[in-house]
Chains A and B, each alone.
Chain A
Amino acid sequence: MPLELPQNYFELFQLACALEVDEQQLTEQYRALQRELHPDRFAAAGPQERRLAAQAAAHVNQAYRTLSDRHERAAYLLHLQEVEMDDEKDTSTDTEFLMQQMELREGLEALDGMPAVEALGARLEQEAEALWEDFGACYAGERWPDAREALLKLRFYRRLQQQLQARKEQFATE
């Protein structure tokens, strides 16, 4: 790209390269960038400018989407360290953890009402937070394989939390 747009997403939003970000700064910088670069700003311009604007705006959108989500942000931090994750293929190899996940999944299917939903929700939240702390420590200590393992485990929690949300909506509409 001939554009002088920072390729590093954190740099683009003028944020420190870290797991926790200043969300207000992220959103405000996002809007500031789009105010200048969105193709609508170039609707009456020539085709070259419109094409460049579309490129730039797509890059800003992709960066914003990545940094807005904690999971995506963590994966991006690892990507900057050249540690890659493949959502489809990679999974945790910790058998004890996998057993525990199966138990949680069974618990999810056996839910019988709102109080049980809330209780499981609280448990998932607590265990996920512990893993996030784990990720943070590994990342700070530059123990990349361990950080990656923590993030892979967190993906299980994210999926469980999404399924729990769906069950919650079911109970709410019944």
Chain B
Amino acid sequence: MTLLQISEPGQGGPRRRACGIDLGTTHSLVAVMRDGQAVTLPNAEGRHRLPSVVHYGAGSETVGWSAVQAAADDPDNTFFSIKRSMGRGTADLDDAHDLVEDSAAGVPRFQTAAGPKTAVEISADILSALRARAEEELGGELDGAVITVPAYFDEAQRQATKDAARLAGLPVLRLINEPTAASIAYGLDQQDDRGLIAVFDLGGGTFDISILRLSRGVFEVLATGGDTELGGDDLDRILLAWAQKECGVEEADRAWTRRILQAVREAREALSEQESVQVDCGDGRILTLTRGELEQWSAPLLERMLQCCRRALSDAGVEAGEVQEVVMVGGVTRMPYLRREVSKFFSREVHTGIDPDRVVALGAAVQADVLVGNAQDQDLLLLDVIPLSLGIEIMGEMVERIIDRNTTIPAHHAQEFTTFKDGQTALAVHVVQGERELVSDCRSLARFELRGIPPMTAGAARIRVEFQVDADGLLTVEAMETVSGVRAGVSVKPSYGLEELEIEQMLRESVEHAEEDVASRALNEQQVEADRVMQALRDALAADGDILSDDAERAGIEAAAQALIQLRDGTDADAIRAGIKALEEACEPFVERRMNRSIRQAMQGHRVEEFQEQD
């Protein structure tokens, strides 16, 4: 059958279309590989940075520079720094916008001229604009994307980012941490004995510090730290308060605030090049700001950053002096003051060779190219960590840690708990994230109930709670009672996340797809998935077809694959879904054997060629 007679893996096939996206608080970028080099993509006017700003008019939306323009006249319908609201509840938000009622899971919705919008939907609009830019460059639909997030992003913030990507129709290969992406872009692994590096990443709204050990293509994150509410925006707010006081403005309205924030941000950026700058506050008020004043006001923020650095170093078990390279990331690190102080802290010159605004997107593009399968010869592997400890609530509102911060992912851990009352048949499990001992000081991630525990005396039940963190840093939790062998059903409900149904609803409602038939969209999704599964199977058979146990197994797989190929060209989405499942079942023993071959290879340190004789 022609189906299974195909070329060597990674050869001859067309290059797959992949991009890296830096979804930033103030600006976002998209990058792709061009002639072996990562490049960021500009818009029609040649601007690479897309302001992370969305304006909603009645029945229309604009993203980027035009949204920034619209902000002055219509601040209530214009959204800046939406990244700060990702994965957050109503209580965490400032009052820059009016809120509609919470959704079922407590996700805040903002009032806009185009109807209520969540932070996830607003971020999805930014991602859609970047996706369009990448697809235009690559000449077709994307096969995969890598999206970066701050290393210090918690579970809810990561999940919200992934949901936004899904709404934007982006096939996400992986979420990777911004500092890790930056270190890839610097290619520091290409040189021998680079050893320890520190990445100091100060963005518009977030601060990250990561300590990595590099060794021949392996990027091993030892520790990460940071603050998701500390960035250039905070400096701008200090400057705003100063301008407000100097101008004698008692009650600033949103339009004034927006305008002055823009003016002080430009002033702050200009101070990286000059000693003093004029700030035009309108109505003939011109203020003068000096670099000295800016540095004085930056000092407390810098101290908070260095505190994070000390803790990350201590978590990594290394001293500042052992760090061999320091990489600066984020536009705010252009400030000479920051460069000087960070350089002093680590006692070495800092790397600033790559544009600090673009370096994260560039690294993401390199990783996307590897993950999508275009660069199989490239020896690049990221071993990242979770930034915050995961635990569950126990008696007395205390937290029992299950997985410690800075544990390498993917991670798996199980812990046993018991009942505390006679005849107890249900147990509420509350999953939290954070370093503090009291539940109220940690972030609530999810709550669920384990039901159907057979009545027993207190302390007799053995409830096994399993935590699994995947390579994107996303968590799934399962609980079961092991004495009775009863596996009670468990569903995890994210505290500030969107429900699956809500996402589907949004997909249906999204402006972009309003004209499109829901059924044809579902069909298209399944066809894409079928193609993906077939491609993966072809690659797997080309690489390891020799370990099919016998002709019957091969015939079974071929029959299921043939059936799927026919279904794929039909019009029944559910039938395609069933066909994919049938093919997966037929492949299961082969897939396991294939994985075991990888394990043997790794255990013996041999390459494939040496193996084939023995098999």
A residues contacting B by CB (< 8 A) are: 2-6, 12, 14, 31-41, 43-49, 52-59, 61-62, 64-65, 165, 169, 173
Nearest-neighbour CB distance to chain B for A29, whole angstroms, equals: 8
Nearest-neighbour CB distance to chain A for B539, whole angstroms, equals: 7
B26 at the interface (CB under 8 A from A): no
B residues contacting A by CB (< 8 A) are: 16, 144, 173-174, 215, 218, 220, 310, 314, 370-373, 379, 381-383, 407-413, 468, 470-471, 532-533, 535-537, 539-540, 584, 587-588, 591-592, 594-596, 598-603, 605
The main secondary structure of chain A at its interface with chain B is helix
CA distance A47 to B409 in the complex (A): 18
Q: Please, could you name 19 A-B residue pairs with CB atoms under 8 Å apart, sorted by A?
A: A32-B602, A33-B602, A34-B381, A35-B602, A37-B595, A37-B602, A40-B381, A40-B471, A44-B372, A46-B584, A48-B584, A48-B588, A49-B540, A52-B592, A54-B410, A58-B412, A61-B407, A61-B410, A173-B310
With contact pairs A45-B540, A61-B411 given, residues A169 and B310 touching in the complex (Cβ less than 8 Å) = yes
Q: Contact: A40 with B314, CB < 8 Å? A: no
With contact pairs A33-B602, A53-B595 given, residues A165 and B536 touching in the complex (Cβ less than 8 Å) = no
**Closest residue to A52 on the B side, CB-wise?**
B595
**Sample of 13 more A-B contacts, CB < 8 Å, known A36-B601, A46-B591:** A5-B599, A35-B218, A37-B595, A40-B381, A43-B173, A43-B174, A44-B373, A54-B468, A54-B470, A54-B471, A58-B411, A58-B468, A65-B408
A14 touches which one: B383, B407, B603 (CB < 8 A)? B603
CA distance A62 to B467 in the complex (A): 13
The 9 closest A-B pairs by CB, nearest first: A36-B602, A58-B412, A43-B371, A44-B373, A39-B471, A46-B536, A58-B410, A4-B596, A61-B408
Q: Contact: B471 with A3, CB < 8 Å? A: no
CA distance A113 to B273 in the complex (A): 43
- CB-CB under 8 A from A47, the residues of chain B are 584
CA distance A21 to B470 in the complex (A): 29
CA distance A169 to B309 in the complex (A): 12
- CB-CB under 8 A from B218, the residues of chain A are 31, 34-35
Q: Contact: B383 with A38, CB < 8 Å? A: yes
CA distance A5 to B592 in the complex (A): 12
- CB-CB under 8 A from A56, the residues of chain B are 595, 599
Q: Contact: B533 with A32, CB < 8 Å? A: no
Q: Contact: A48 with B587, CB < 8 Å? A: yes
**Closest residue to A57 on the B side, CB-wise?**
B410
A40 touches which one: B215, B371, B533, B591 (CB < 8 A)? B371
- CB-CB under 8 A from B599, the residues of chain A are 3-5, 36-37, 56
Nearest-neighbour CB distance to chain A for B404, whole angstroms, equals: 9
- CB-CB under 8 A from B595, the residues of chain A are 3, 37, 49, 52-53, 56
A35 touches which one: B381, B539, B588 (CB < 8 A)? B381
Q: Contact: A62 with B412, CB < 8 Å? A: yes
**Closest residue to B591 on the A side, CB-wise?**
A48
Nearest-neighbour CB distance to chain B for A14, whole angstroms, equals: 7
- CB-CB under 8 A from B372, the residues of chain A are 43-44
Nearest-neighbour CB distance to chain A for B82, whole angstroms, equals: 28
CA distance A41 to B379 in the complex (A): 10
- CB-CB under 8 A from A49, the residues of chain B are 536, 540, 591, 594-595
- CB-CB under 8 A from A46, the residues of chain B are 532-533, 536-537, 540, 584, 587, 591
